[in-house]
Amino acid sequence: MSAAPATTARHTTDPPPRPAARPLPRASRRRTHRAGRPRRSAVLTLLTGLVVVYALLPLAWLVISATKTPAGLAGSSGLWFDGDFALWSNIADTFTYDDGVYLRWLLNTLLYVVAGAGGATFLAVLGGYALARFDFPGKRGVFAVVIGAVAVPGTALAIPTFLMFSKLGLTDTPWAVIVPSLVSPFGLYLMTVFAAEAIPAELLEAARIDGAGEARTFFRVSLPLLAPGIVTVLLFSMVATWNNYFLPLIMLKDPDWYPLTLGLDSWNAQAATAGGHAIPHLVLTGSLLTILPLIAAFLMLQRYWQSGLAAGSVKE
């Protein structure tokens, strides 16, 4: 006798499904994201303000001091104007003092910048283009030497350079300042990185297929694309040559070949001497006139400078 299988009915009461979480509206997410920003923005604003004050306070002091007479420099606050506005007379005295030697120093500095910084930029463009777009034996080694040379400070090479130039009989001549300024490892490195990113290899191949030689390809095709990098290297080289002090100090003895940095230092030493002439206002006015060309160059070429610095920073 067989028994029928017992079946048990199982009743399950499942919980009702939860409704899907609705995403926050875009405006709410934006407000939530911005909620943590005020403190960080305030800190960044404060730090930026401190950096701006640190950079502009000495410049403001220089501009204000250049408008004062020697008596006003000694008897007034450094960060406020004196009763006598003597800027124009100070400029005239700066250019006429000691038979106009300041103008001679200015022309010397322009010579060193045009020959030294211009030559350094030209060599950096040629070398960077070659390292970026040509394959040759020892390329990696050359690039490694360039990167290593960037880390060597120029002051460490000043004494060996002086000994070498003294044996060649070139000390106390303009060549002692111009020739070392032609070497710019940082400019060569920057142009190498920029040329590798700015010049497509396909464009060079197309120019060669069309029958253009290497010189024509470089000057007609590649050089216009390198303009931002060229301006960047030129600005860096120009500032380095314009502000160069230690190399002319050990290379030059004749005041007629002094650049502005060395000439103003000699005026400052003369003003600090117990029996020297009271010319601190000329030192300050000359310093103000010295930085004006650099400020003008940066303001006119800043858009090229910024785009040149950004070269190679983003890779696809």
Q: How many domains does the chain have?
A: 2
* Integer Cα distance of 12 and 32 in angstroms: 42
Residues 290 and 168 in one domain: yes
Mean pLDDT by 10 residues, the chain (316 residues): 46 53 53 61 89 90 88 78 84 90 95 94 94 89 90 86 92 93 92 90 87 87 88 91 92 92 89 65 91 88 63 45
Could you tell me which of 180, 156, 155 has the C-alpha nearest to residue 168?
Answer: 180
Q: What is the predicted pLDDT for the residue at 279?
A: 80
Q: Is residue 140 domain-resident?
A: yes
* Integer Cα distance of 177 and 161 in angstroms: 10
Q: Is residue 11 domain-resident?
A: no
Contacts of 225 (CB under 8 A, 6+ apart): 198, 199
Could you tell me which of 164, 150, 181 has the C-alpha nearest to residue 248?
Answer: 181
- Containing structural domain, residue 62: 40-85
Q: Is residue 184 domain-resident?
A: yes
| 93 in Cβ contact with 282 (< 8 Å) | yes
Q: Is residue 127 domain-resident?
A: yes
* Integer Cα distance of 195 and 217 in angstroms: 14
The CATH code of the domain that includes 271 is 1.10.3720.10
Among 85, 114, 146, which residue terminates a domain?
85
Residues 59 and 191 in one domain: no
Q: What is the predicted pLDDT for the residue at 43?
A: 86
- The phi-psi region of residue 99 (left if phi > 0; otherwise alpha if psi is between -120 and 50; otherwise beta) is left
Residues 71 and 220 in one domain: no
* Integer Cα distance of 201 and 139 in angstroms: 18
* Integer Cα distance of 238 and 119 in angstroms: 10
Residues 267 and 158 in one domain: yes
Q: What is the predicted pLDDT for the residue at 6?
A: 46
Residues 153 and 294 in one domain: yes
Residues 126 and 45 in one domain: no
Residues 44 and 111 in one domain: no
| 268 in Cβ contact with 182 (< 8 Å) | no
Residues 72 and 156 in one domain: no
Q: Is residue 20 domain-resident?
A: no
* Integer Cα distance of 184 and 235 in angstroms: 12
| 285 in Cβ contact with 92 (< 8 Å) | no
Residues 71 and 106 in one domain: no
Residues 53 and 105 in one domain: no
- DSSP assignment of 76-102 equals S-TTS--SS--HHHHHHHHHHTTTTHH
Among 57, 85, 113, which residue terminates a domain?
85
Q: What is the predicted pLDDT for the residue at 79?
A: 78
Q: Is residue 21 domain-resident?
A: no
Among 28, 57, 85, which residue terminates a domain?
85
Q: Is residue 301 domain-resident?
A: yes
